[in-house]
Structure 1
Amino acid sequence: MPFKEVRETVLVRTLSDVLVAMTDLFRKEMMLARAELGENIKAGVKSSVWMIVAGFLGFVVFLVLVEAAIFGVASLGLALQWSCLIVAAVLAAVAAGIYIYGRSMMPETLAPVRSMREMGDDISTIKEQLT
């Protein structure tokens, strides 16, 4: 009889330790997921700002092209319209470069993929240990 009581006590203590460790592990995993999500949102905002800058420069390109068309019609001179077109081409190249840079900074997903995968691994490990 004493052996059975000891075994049950050890089993209860072990299960209690496992539950405490599991709770602590999930709490830490949630903190990690929150931090990862914050980093992904920060990167998303940064890349969005660069894409907004590219959109603004694209609008400036449109205005310069309109200005080139107006000067071309008004003056029918070659030099003025060509200078406007050269400026528009340079601004278009800058806008394209900024857009590509902003797009490359955007993370593929904002979800905390690594933390979710680790939580799944933790759950699998706990299931294996309990069976």
Structure 2
Amino acid sequence: MRQKLIKCILFVVACLASILGFLGVVLPLLPATPFFLLALFAFSKSSPRFQHWLLNLPGIGDDLRSWQTHKKINKQRKPVIYLSIFISFVISISLLMGQPLIQSMLIILMLIILLCIRKLPEF
């Protein structure tokens, strides 16, 4: 019974993370990748069928499969990742004109994220 409850909770978490991931694709301040990685983990523990679905999504599935297999990022994809993060943060920062504290926090957060991505292993 306990295991069934845990699977159910993980499935709900995976579904919510997937929704947030899809929203993150179109919303500048919401990151998509961490939510898709969380969804992949939760689906792997709760629903192999939905894990397979997520791994075969166009545009997202290849990167998720690569991460799941190698725990590395494709070297050619890093510039695209850097650029998309930079553009989304610039849009968010420009929308917050007149709020220097929040803008500064976003700049620091962007730099931290870019540094973390830079340190990820490549293949």
The alignment's TM-score, normalised by the length of structure 1, stands at: 0.32
Task: Report the structure, 1 or 2, having the larger helix content.
Answer: 1
Q: Which has the higher contact order (CA 8 A, sep 6+)?
A: 1
TM-score, normalised on structure 2?
0.33
